[in-house]
Amino acid sequence: MAPWILFSGKEGANTRGKWTKPEAEIFKDVAISLGVDKNQILLESNATNTGENVRFSYNVLKQGNLLPKEKILLVQMPYMERRVYATFMKQWPGFSETPDLQVLVTSPPIPMLSYPNTEVGALHDVISAMIGCLYRIQIYPQKGFQIPQIIPDTVLQSYQKLLETSNKHV
């Protein structure tokens, strides 16, 4: 789908203290084991949050004279697609220089009940991460970290129910 794959990340909330190598290196190893040519993989292994993933990845691509001009595909966990898009649109330093850049976001089709595992945590941990993503989508535009997103009332109602349920189990 692309001439290059860039893996970004040192550690995040779900991996902090769990892995002995940065997330980007773990992802690279998995890609190589699945047949991806190691010479087509770029690494950014310092980011610890989504904004840093975007900005630091931009720097890696810029240093390699590989900034995309037509299309970029962002791959993320299923529940983070909107947040990644909103962050990218605000944090990508060269976006105004490439107005024709098509930004696509995708994730593997993992059913929610199949997502929890020893690497990412129990179902409660996944739900907490989802709640945190929606919370950030609501407040980060005011902080200048993301572009605003329209959140349907039904989503906000479900969010509120998840918050209430989560608080009962804490």
Got the DSSP string for 65-76? Answer: T---SSEEEEE-
- What is the per-residue pLDDT for 121? 78
More confident residue, 86 or 168: 86
Query: Sign of the CA dihedral 60, 64, 68, 69?
Result: positive
What average pLDDT score do residues 8-31 get? Answer: 86
What is the rounded distance in angstroms from the CA atom of residue 8 to the CA atom of residue 52?
9
- Tens digits of per-residue pLDDT, 40-89? 999 999 999 999 999 999 999 999 999 998 999 999 988 899 999 999 99
- What is the per-residue pLDDT for 102? 94
The amino acid occupying position 147 is: I
What average pLDDT score do residues 96-114 get? Answer: 88
**HSE of 101, CA atoms in CB hemisphere, 13 A:** 18
Q: Does the pLDDT of residue 169 top 80, yes or no?
A: no
Lowest mean pLDDT of 20-29, 47-56, 73-82, 108-117, name the range: 108-117
What average pLDDT score do residues 87-101 get? Answer: 88
- What is the per-residue pLDDT for 44? 98
What's the token pair of residue 140?
Answer: 């980060």
What average pLDDT score do residues 128-157 get? Answer: 95
**Of 104, 101, 127, 123, the residue nearest 114 (C-alpha):** 123
Three-state DSSP at 104 gives: strand
